Amino acid sequence: MLKIRVPASSANMGAGFDCLGVALSVYNYIYVNQTGHGLVIEAEGEGKDKIAKDEKNLVYQSMKKVFEYAKKSVDGLYIKLENNIPLSRGLGSSSACIVGGMTAANALLGNPLTDREILNLALLEEKHPDNITPCLVGGFTASMVYENEVYYIKKDVPDKISFLLIIPDFTLKTKKSREILPQNILLNDAAFNISHSTIFALGMYSENFDIFKVALKDKIHQPYRSHFISDFDDILKKCEEFGALGAYLSGSGSTIAAILYDSDRGKVENGIRKYLDKTNKCWKVITVKADNLGATVEKIQ
Ligand code: HSE
């Protein structure tokens, strides 16, 4: 039996739309075994009753893509999913299924595919690389697509940095959250985002985290998507007031993520919890670390 651990991920990180992302220490687990015949899928945890348990299952579908690519077949599969990543909250749950399934299939076949091949296959399913890359390789990543291939640079995130996740009690589908975006943006807004995302990424790379206070601002997606989340601008301001370095809409939402020094987690968490209570929001607040490993495979029997 193989046990695959896949991390959640938080994409965009302010101005880095469809480019920047970070893997987080919230994990889905996939247990997989070759059985000789049939397909059995069991699921526990987040979305367990909504998830398909037949050939339509996203993890299984993703495994199949690897078998087809490698021109190999596997007789019979038992798949057990233990899901901790909330669905449709901007925390990379579908990337975790795709990357997790592909990693599982690759491991079953004896790892014929490289990370680059897995990323390029995953891109066909996910369309943008900012969740799949950190999910596969861990850490903070800047990714781009050139002629249908994913290119990325990774940086491990040190332990002194934490991520506060403010997870609303409602879902937001990526499709709906992308449809609201304009097809054309102003040159000034493009220049604003290029400068901010570059400074943010270099700040992360050189561990000059204080620059996040200004570099996390965005003009090309959050202003449009913020309408889906009540008090969005206020919550971002509150995160800063309570001591976070900055906050942003995680992926296409609905989660808001704040980046902070771990030493400030108590005051930021307490402040945000009290603020959410006052505004009658029963939203979940958790503080997590970056995951610097990405998808891992362990043989357990
Ligand atoms: N970059 C993507 C978006 C992430 O913001 O729509 C969602 O998968």
pLDDT tens-place string over residues 240-268 = 999 999 999 999 999 999 999 999 999 99
Whether residues 146 and 261 share a domain: the answer is no
For ligand 1, atom 1: residue with the closest CA: 18
The pair of structure tokens assigned to 297 is 């495979």
Please give the C-alpha separations between residue 16 and each of 60, 171, 204, in angstroms, as whole numbers.
Answer: 31, 22, 13
State which residues form the domain around 250.
161-289
Whether residues 134 and 210 share a domain: the answer is no
Give the global pTM: 0.96
CA atoms within 13 A on the CB side of 251: 34
Whether residues 216 and 123 share a domain: the answer is no
- The confidence score (pLDDT) of residue 275 equals 97
Count of domains observed in the chain: 2
Nearest ligand 1 atom to alpha carbon 92: 8
Residues with CB under 6 A from ligand 1: 11-12, 17-18, 128, 130-131, 174, 178, 221, 251-252
The 3-state DSSP class for residue 9 equals strand
pLDDT tens-place string over residues 154-199 = 999 999 999 999 999 999 999 999 999 999 999 999 999 999 999 9
> Domain holding 220: CATH number?
3.30.70.890
Residue 106 φ/ψ, nearest 5 degrees: -60, -40
pLDDT tens-place string over residues 18-47 = 999 999 999 999 999 999 999 999 999 999
Whether residues 152 and 170 share a domain: the answer is no
Whether residues 106 and 225 share a domain: the answer is no
Whether residues 182 and 252 share a domain: the answer is yes
Ligand 1 pocket: which of 9, 10, 17, 179 to mutate (most atoms within 8 A of CB): 17
Whether residues 115 and 146 share a domain: the answer is yes
Whether residues 191 and 275 share a domain: the answer is yes
pLDDT at 54 over 80: yes
Whether residues 121 and 251 share a domain: the answer is no
pLDDT tens-place string over residues 105-129 = 999 999 999 999 999 999 999 999 9
Whether residues 133 and 222 share a domain: the answer is no
> Domain holding 29: CATH number?
3.30.230.10
For ligand 1, atom 8: residue with the closest CA: 251
Confidence band for 301, pLDDT divided at 50, 70 and 90: confident
Whether residues 139 and 236 share a domain: the answer is no
- The confidence score (pLDDT) of residue 9 equals 98
Length of the chain: 301
The 3-state DSSP class for residue 282 equals coil
CB under 8 A, 24+ apart: contacts of 24-27: 24/91, 24/163, 24/165, 24/288, 24/289, 24/290, 24/291, 25/288, 25/289, 25/290, 25/291, 26/84, 26/85, 26/91, 26/286, 26/288, 27/84, 27/85, 27/291
